[in-house]
Chains A and B, each alone.
Chain A
Amino acid sequence: MRTPVIAAAAVMAVCLCGSFSFAEEDLNSRLNRLDAEVGKQTETIREQQKTIDDLKDRLNEQKPVESHVPEQSGKPTGLFGGSLMTNPYVSLVLDAKGYVSNLKNSELESRGVPGFTTEGRGLHNGFNIDAAELFLFAPVDPYFNLYVNIPINEEGVELEEAYFVTTSLPAGFQIKGGRFKSNTSRLNAQHPHAWDFADIALPYKAFLGSEGLGGENGVQFTWLPPLPVYTLLGIEVLQGDSNSLLFGKDDRWGPHAFSAFAKVSLDTSDNSTLYAGPWVLFGSTNSGSILPADEATGNTFNLRGDSALYGLEAVWKWKSGQQGVTVQGEYLYLVQNGDLTTSDPSGAPVSVERLKRHQDGAYIQALYRYGRWRAGARYDRLELFDDTFRVAGVQQQFSGKPWRATGSLEFNPTEFSTIRAQYTHDRSDPGGRVNNEGILQAIFTIGAHPAHTF
């Protein structure tokens, strides 16, 4: 503001000086002329000032607004790890269990599901450490994110997952590759510490094993088309070597496990969401884990053939303030055909017979959360509609339909800690003894904040 005042004064001084040369003129007319002159000059100054102001305004508009804001480069945004643990995102999850059962440890170890799997309970009376899972994540560059999951357990260190995910493919496409847990179903993709119960549902244990399909080497293609309703379509090509129950190591082929899935979801209200979809896992099987060794002869059994496991999952979630309800159910149906080789204890083949399996299973579970507490119930059973298990055309009898009933109560002091008490009445070995088991589970997470999938 000071500049125009000085300028005006200077102009006036110049004018005044100039006027002295016309001393003989009439004082009045001179004054009038001076007034007019000054008025004109002032007008010019005003105009110039206006131009200056306009220019300043225009300059201000062009300047990026952030320029007066603290420089943001180097400041973590907080997303994708964020905070003080920026790169990579690191977290460790401890999953510890106390276990009590009316069965002896030796009985638990050999307790499979007859007609499905020879895998034992996997827990023993007393203290169990499931794993301390190390989780790493970081964007690789603007095109890929990388995830690594390394469970450390009593047997050692395992590379359960190590995969990249593309972030910059157009048109809603995404490729995931490396070693990963298949996304065919929610339960399969979740890590054990993220399950709603201390163990996996019975149909999973029976058809895939107690960790589901588990980490498999391979590649996944997914597509999220621009539809009004969330619809995710995916296919996977997997090596199939890691899962010893449904697929197993195959010396003839490379990738021999494949999956296809579709997930559809819509919000049933502001606070509730429905999520459902069919899936299929198929490929060639080479498994010695379906039937236990014959106690009398010591003979072992190995299946070589083809398998297709069909699934249909549905989840409904409601959440409002302190409370939440989740209802989830799934139906699985297995079709398996192949040659069952019987070998004597020395490993020499005794016989080869045709095996044909059509079996199914389902589970349904419901959870209710109130604040930091959560209660759950689950019922799972096998052989709902079909129990075909034929060797050389002869139906095998496995004494009854396996089922379990589970109840649980959880306390979550924060989202980083969970203490869960679970009771299961287990009749998954109908010919054997009933297993009444209690599990006290503690799950703790340190490190970066996990994001929660639906």
Chain B
Amino acid sequence: MRNTMLAFTVLLSLTLASPAFAKLNVVATLPWIGSLAQEIGGNKVAVTTLVKPSQDPHFLEAKPSMILAARRADIVMYQGLDLEIGYLPIIIEQSRNPLIMPGRPGNLDCSRFVNVIEKHAVVERSMGDIHPLGNPHYNFSPVNVLRVAEGMTTVLAGLDRANAEAYRSNFKAFAARFEEKRKQWNRPDLKGKRYVAYHHYFEYLAADYGFGIAAYVEPKPGIPPSAAHIEKLVSDMRSSKPDGILVTPSYGLKEAEALSAKTGVKVIVLPQDVGAVKGSDTWFAFMDTVLAALR
């Protein structure tokens, strides 16, 4: 009994004394948010990302390991707009961590810095798995991601005043790199191009780069296509000849490939998040990959 207690005490003190505690513990739901937090936080933060790049953010479950990560968090950063509604509320409540409860500075909804598109005034579930607060996939929008980075900087600086200067200078470096990249990204002219998309993933991208999404493989968000819907889409695509079928590696790839085989329109696989395809390990690399694929 005494040995058990001793072991327990040692284990507990080891955990408490581990050097990770000197850093600000950031828990990010999605990989791009984690990557952004790392850019802004630098060596002042320890980032844990809950969702793996290979996983689709729509279909997740709260795992106990995620609850444990949130238990240790100084701040939780999430995409918002109901994207994480299926698991994040449970993680937050079960974490038993007052710092990250809604309304606290340690609860950061990144969407509050974003100009949200596709807000729906009238919503019901017959319209599919629609997000009433607007399209949540703003990680494809450079302008909005810069705003999130800026907002994240302010929040981190407020939470960890001792390192506020470090966060601000990291953001300056991020913004400078962003300016440089933005010129590159504007180069391939995508204006006037028309694509077919599997899911409502790429609307911010379309708005920022001036291309059109002519049709969706999903008849309604989250609802897989019926044979009749595909048939109609095939005949539409044969006559309208769009520039590609946009799809992510984890959501609808098989259906898109089948559609491509029938219509001859090429499939363009875009990562849905940082790290979802090879060579997209930071948000900049992610945008590079996305825009290179569209070119």
Given the known interface contacts A69-B112, A77-B112, A167-B93, the answer about A414 and B101 at a Cβ–Cβ threshold of 8 Å is no
Q: In chain B, what residue has the closest Cβ to A76?
A: B133
Choose one: B64, B83, B90, B250; the contact of A321 (CB below 8 Å): B250
Tell whether A156 is near chain B: CB-to-CB under 8 Å: no
Residues 150-173 (chain B) with a chain A CB within 8 angstroms = 150-151, 153-154, 168
Residues of chain B within 8 A of A446, CB atoms compared: 125
Check if A79 sits within 8 Å of B56, measured CB to CB: no
Check if B98 sits within 8 Å of A230, measured CB to CB: no
Check if A266 sits within 8 Å of B65, measured CB to CB: yes
Residues 66-116 (chain B) with a chain A CB within 8 angstroms = 67-68, 71-72, 78, 80-90, 92-98, 101-104, 107, 109, 111-113, 115
Residues of chain A within 8 A of B132, CB atoms compared: 83-84
Q: With the chains together, A65 CA to B97 CA distance in Å?
A: 27
Tell whether A270 is near chain B: CB-to-CB under 8 Å: yes
Distance to closest chain A CB from B256 (angstroms): 14
Q: Which of A98-106, A221-229, A380-388 contacts B (4 or more CB under 8 A)?
A: A221-229
Residues 76-107 (chain A) with a chain B CB within 8 angstroms = 76-80, 82-84
Given the known interface contacts A83-B133, A224-B68, A454-B62, the answer about A167 and B123 at a Cβ–Cβ threshold of 8 Å is no
Tell whether B118 is near chain A: CB-to-CB under 8 Å: no
Given the known interface contacts A69-B113, A167-B101, A168-B101, the answer about A273 and B64 at a Cβ–Cβ threshold of 8 Å is yes
Check if A75 sits within 8 Å of B129, measured CB to CB: no
Q: With the chains together, A39 CA to B61 CA distance in Å?
A: 71
Check if A372 sits within 8 Å of B224, measured CB to CB: yes
Report the contact-size class of chain A (Cβ under 8 Å from the partner): 35 or more
Residues of chain A within 8 A of B223, CB atoms compared: 414
Tell whether A390 is near chain B: CB-to-CB under 8 Å: no
Check if B12 sits within 8 Å of A273, measured CB to CB: no
Tell whether B63 is near chain A: CB-to-CB under 8 Å: yes
Tell whether B222 is near chain A: CB-to-CB under 8 Å: yes
Residues 2-16 (chain B) with a chain A CB within 8 angstroms = 11-12, 15-16
Tell whether A453 is near chain B: CB-to-CB under 8 Å: yes
Check if B80 sits within 8 Å of A79, measured CB to CB: yes
Check if B154 sits within 8 Å of A82, measured CB to CB: no
Residues of chain A within 8 A of B97, CB atoms compared: 172
Could you mark each residue 242-265 of chain A with 1 if its beta carbon is under 8 Å from any beta carbon of chain B, else 0? 000000000000000000000101
Distance to closest chain A CB from B116 (angstroms): 9
Given the known interface contacts A224-B67, A230-B67, the answer about A82 and B133 at a Cβ–Cβ threshold of 8 Å is yes
Residues of chain B within 8 A of A78, CB atoms compared: 80-83, 85, 109, 111, 133
Tell whether A124 is near chain B: CB-to-CB under 8 Å: no
Check if B15 sits within 8 Å of A65, measured CB to CB: no
Tell whether B52 is near chain A: CB-to-CB under 8 Å: yes
Check if B109 sits within 8 Å of A69, measured CB to CB: no
Tell whether B289 is near chain A: CB-to-CB under 8 Å: no
Tell whether B44 is near chain A: CB-to-CB under 8 Å: no
Choose one: A79, A170, A454; the contact of B64 (CB below 8 Å): A454
* 22 pairs, CB–CB < 8 Å, chain A vs chain B: A65-B153, A65-B154, A66-B112, A69-B113, A77-B102, A78-B80, A79-B88, A80-B102, A82-B82, A83-B132, A139-B102, A167-B101, A169-B96, A172-B71, A224-B71, A321-B250, A371-B224, A415-B86, A449-B82, A452-B62, A452-B86, A452-B87
A-B contact sample (15 more), CB < 8 A, given A77-B80, A142-B101, A414-B125: A64-B154, A65-B151, A78-B81, A142-B104, A169-B98, A173-B96, A224-B67, A226-B15, A227-B15, A229-B68, A270-B52, A321-B56, A415-B86, A449-B85, A454-B64
